[in-house]
Chain A
């Protein structure tokens, strides 16, 4: 009579007989709206599993909305901590009419005794719970399905066709030019194939002449496939015939070649392919095509359960390469050495996932002679726009002369910002602090950053002003209570990501830490002894969790499933109960980090 979802943690950690005991051992309880289910200080007699309804967790020592600790809805479990600790720290109150399963204390304690995994679940730190979530997700095998359904047409590359008269030397040159591994030789109506290995064998082992025709060494028995065939069929025929490429025939004409490496990298989420495409791109169109593939890459990597940290690293590197290439196309080589292109904001920290706004700036070496700089930069901004980087709403772009300055000009600007200390200046400082050089002379930025540290890191008053921004958005834990309708959500960027990023940034400024990514800064702060390791780990995990939730939101928007106006809003009710649990804990960590900050930088008032 009990339909608890036992496939979700923690119950999925139990064996079958224990699950049966849970099903047999629970009672049903019904609580009216606003009824207090468990009073603070009361000893816990049950673990409550919500079947229907919503429950709020309240700290009644705090006034009004600040006392809201958590929010639970269908599928969530509460009261376990009260049993472990002996009594409840907080008050649990029904926010709707609520139907709960009640798991008696005795049974819960027995289950904990019998299954260490089950008991551990309630003592775990956030990091461990995240691991559970990732394990669960990667079991889904989404990419596997994606791979099974991919067609050959998605993966094939255009064929390189040589005439009957081509020589070995010509074939080698053609292969090298087009970065290909194999070519087709057309003899009347028939096609043969040569590969680099064939050429090598012909030259070295058979000692043929460079100018001998390539037709003699070509293979005319081709393994072929249709473009609408499934990709795995190609893989099967490659394995069966022990070859590493198949020719795609359309109406008896070759329309493409599928190589084994293509299939395998398609399977390994095509990260290799995208970076290869970026490197091979020799004009803007090719670069734009490669750049358009990135969201797809993110999706595939996420589905495979790759840790967000590494996905972000990979993407930061790829985005850096794209911007670098675009810079290289537009700016003449002699000017490249005289300047340094910076990406800033989340891109500078290497934390954007999908393409974010262009936040960039340019440092010119003192005495650089570059009269057409303004028009070049205008063109760079337009190019990046074409590559899919939307313009920055704050106009922090190289097309804005404010963000193109000589090195000494930048020094003056920074000193000016530091002296002025108003909102806009502090924001500019924060943006500058995250700058990361992607093209040109990197030492220009390094010198500028040292200057910035020199001016700021001992200025307690400035640090205190700087840190205050981290507290400027109230903690979304209080917002939980107003979630009456599913279309309300919490702003994950203001409530979660920003306080962590900015707080860590402030500490990095104080300790003169050079890396720009938040995770690297956290690591450096631990080494400096500024933060203890467990807390830094939890902060990092919390940040990854927020980014991941935000990414999910953005990806669904890409799919067009949702036309939400606000990409940063996460609707709590759509999350699974484990994710909700994680979100709650992560927000709790943000809260305690904010407390530390306000203590360190004297922000209490």
Chain B
């Protein structure tokens, strides 16, 4: 509810702006799978470390034309998160500034629907960075792979409580896990899950 209201105001405010087109309804058949690696799990403080996005079109994951951005080393980068995503301060040398990165991301995804694994988390972090610089939240329609999968399992096996860890879901769908805990890897794996699930339904 709050989100819908916010979108309406954002849209009105941006109507004449550079990013007005993002608010137009999407008519194509593509979906963009995104994933972020961050410095923590708290959406209020986590900083972006890397962002990746890959397009899905007609059942194909277009890895050849994907976006994989490293950002400048944020101050909150510490050992705990490095252990997960494996990007050290030195690996982020020469990374993009958050503003540049977000600009590229917006250009890449356009107004296509977004797909992600627990996408609410990624959205929250992205929006927290977007709002101060661009003045709006991502207006795109969102698909959460986790929900899609849970819904499908519930529909076919109502009694089963599905195991909803990323790896197990990938295994259950017969999708290889590619580069776990790298932004692009997770984005591609999620995209494959989506394609796989879509085939099953259709």
Binding site for B on A (CB under 8 A): 1-3, 24-30, 32, 51-52, 97, 99, 102, 104
Further contacts, 4 of them, CB under 8 A, given A26-B64, A102-B60: A27-B63, A28-B63, A29-B60, A97-B199
Which residues on the B side are within 8 Å of A99 (C-beta)?
175-176, 192
CA–CA, A25 to B64, complex, Å? 4
Say if the beta carbon of B178 comes within 8 Å of chain A: yes
Which residues on the A side are within 8 Å of B63 (C-beta)?
1-2, 26-28
Which residues on the B side are within 8 Å of A26 (C-beta)?
63-64
Per-position binary interface string of chain B over residues 85-124, scored 1 when its CB falls under 8 Å from any chain A CB and 0 otherwise: 0000000000000000000000000000000000000000
Which residues on the B side are within 8 Å of A1 (C-beta)?
63, 66, 178-179, 182, 184-185, 188
Which residues between 34 and 89 of chain B lie within 8 Å of chain A, taking CB atoms?
59-64, 66
Which residues on the B side are within 8 Å of A52 (C-beta)?
174, 176
CA–CA, A30 to B202, complex, Å? 13
**Least CB distance, B143 to chain A, in whole angstroms:** 17
Say if the beta carbon of B142 comes within 8 Å of chain A: no
CA–CA, A3 to B178, complex, Å? 8
Per-position binary interface string of chain B over residues 178-192, scored 1 when its CB falls under 8 Å from any chain A CB and 0 otherwise: 110010110010011
Name the residue among A25, A26, A27, A102 with the largest chain B CB count within 10 angstroms: A27
Which residues on the B side are within 8 Å of A51 (C-beta)?
176
Q: Are B59 and A29 neighbours in the complex by a CB distance under 8 Å? A: yes
Name the residue among B60, B66, B182, B195 with the largest chain A CB count within 10 angstroms: B60
CA–CA, A51 to B63, complex, Å? 14
Listed by A's residue number, 16 A-B pairs whose Cβ atoms lie within 8 Å are: A1-B63, A1-B179, A1-B182, A2-B178, A26-B63, A27-B60, A27-B61, A27-B64, A28-B60, A28-B192, A29-B61, A30-B59, A30-B199, A99-B176, A99-B192, A104-B64
Which residues on the A side are within 8 Å of B175 (C-beta)?
99
In the complex formed, the residue of A with least CB distance to B193 is A30
Which residues on the B side are within 8 Å of A102 (C-beta)?
60
Q: Are B60 and A97 neighbours in the complex by a CB distance under 8 Å? A: no
**Least CB distance, B87 to chain A, in whole angstroms:** 16
The dominant DSSP class at the B interface is mixed
Which residues between 157 and 183 of chain B lie within 8 Å of chain A, taking CB atoms?
174-176, 178-179, 182
CA–CA, A99 to B191, complex, Å? 13
Which residues on the B side are within 8 Å of A3 (C-beta)?
178
Say if the beta carbon of B129 comes within 8 Å of chain A: no
CA–CA, A66 to B185, complex, Å? 42
In the complex formed, the residue of B with least CB distance to A35 is B199
Given contacts A1-B188, A102-B60, contact A30 B195 (CB under 8 A): yes
Top 5 closest pairs, chain A to chain B, by CB: A28-B61, A30-B195, A29-B60, A32-B199, A1-B188
Which residues on the B side are within 8 Å of A2 (C-beta)?
63, 178
**Least CB distance, A34 to chain B, in whole angstroms:** 11
CA–CA, A99 to B178, complex, Å? 13
**Least CB distance, B140 to chain A, in whole angstroms:** 22
Q: Are B61 and A97 neighbours in the complex by a CB distance under 8 Å? A: no
CA–CA, A97 to B200, complex, Å? 11
Which residues on the A side are within 8 Å of B176 (C-beta)?
51-52, 99
**Least CB distance, A259 to chain B, in whole angstroms:** 56
Name the residue among B61, B66, B175, B192 with the largest chain A CB count within 10 angstroms: B61
In the complex formed, the residue of A with least CB distance to B52 is A1
Which residues on the A side are within 8 Å of B61 (C-beta)?
27-30
Which residues on the A side are within 8 Å of B66 (C-beta)?
1
Which of the residues B62, B174, B178, B196 comes within 8 Å of A27, measured between beta carbons? B62
Which residues on the B side are within 8 Å of A32 (C-beta)?
199
Given contacts A2-B63, A97-B174, contact A30 B192 (CB under 8 A): yes
Which residues on the A side are within 8 Å of B184 (C-beta)?
1
CA–CA, A51 to B177, complex, Å? 12
Name the residue among A26, A27, A30, A51 with the largest chain B CB count within 10 angstroms: A30
CA–CA, A171 to B174, complex, Å? 76
**Least CB distance, B33 to chain A, in whole angstroms:** 11
Which residues on the A side are within 8 Å of B195 (C-beta)?
30
**Least CB distance, B47 to chain A, in whole angstroms:** 24
CA–CA, A99 to B175, complex, Å? 8
Q: Are B60 and A24 neighbours in the complex by a CB distance under 8 Å? A: no
In the complex formed, the residue of A with least CB distance to B188 is A1
**Least CB distance, B121 to chain A, in whole angstroms:** 21
In the complex formed, the residue of A with least CB distance to B195 is A30
Name the residue among A2, A26, A28, A52 with the largest chain B CB count within 10 angstroms: A28
Q: Are B64 and A30 neighbours in the complex by a CB distance under 8 Å? A: no
Which residues on the A side are within 8 Å of B178 (C-beta)?
1-3
In the complex formed, the residue of A with least CB distance to B68 is A1
Which of the residues B64, B174, B188, B192 comes within 8 Å of A24, measured between beta carbons? B64
**Least CB distance, B58 to chain A, in whole angstroms:** 9
**Least CB distance, A570 to chain B, in whole angstroms:** 27
CA–CA, A29 to B59, complex, Å? 7
CA–CA, A2 to B199, complex, Å? 22
**Least CB distance, A22 to chain B, in whole angstroms:** 10
In the complex formed, the residue of B with least CB distance to A2 is B63
Q: Are A30 and B196 neighbours in the complex by a CB distance under 8 Å? A: yes
CA–CA, A52 to B188, complex, Å? 16
**Least CB distance, B51 to chain A, in whole angstroms:** 14
CA–CA, A102 to B175, complex, Å? 16
**Least CB distance, B190 to chain A, in whole angstroms:** 12
**Least CB distance, A507 to chain B, in whole angstroms:** 50
